[in-house]
Structure 1
Amino acid sequence: EVYLRNVPFVFTVPFRFPHSFSPSPFIFTFTFHFTLFTFRFSFSLFVFPFIFVSSSLFVSSSLFVYSFL
């Protein structure tokens, strides 16, 4: 119940129904965690190159500035 309260309302709706009505909460939780995992994976795929490029640009610019000093 504490865990469900932290999750947004849309995701807690299937859990509020009686278990006889919902086909299987296990499938729902599995798909929910799977989509969360894929979203985080794609997000990391997008973010990590961005961080890498920005850090390399920062290092190269600092070396460039340092060479003038």
Structure 2
Amino acid sequence: MGGSGRLYTCFVSCHYCPCPAFAYTVLRRNEGLLCKHILAAYLCQAMGVTQQESVSDQQMSMLLSGTATP
């Protein structure tokens, strides 16, 4: 979840986050490699503290559309 309270679904496997910082800093300005959300996901993976959660097709659709609630 971002500082704005919005839920961002980061796609670490393809190195993408839908947050404004990723769009501006990484994609538009080419001034960085990642946003804080992807960095957090990589750190969690490296520390072995990630949790895998199974979701239904409907839940995945909501996550991808940005309509899921935290």
Query: Please, what TM-score do these two structures have when normalized by structure 2?
Result: 0.25
Tell me which of the two structures has the higher relative contact order, counting C-alpha pairs closer than 8 angstroms and 6 or more residues apart. Answer: 2
Quick check: which has more Rg, 1 or 2? 1
Query: Please, what TM-score do these two structures have when normalized by structure 1?
Result: 0.25
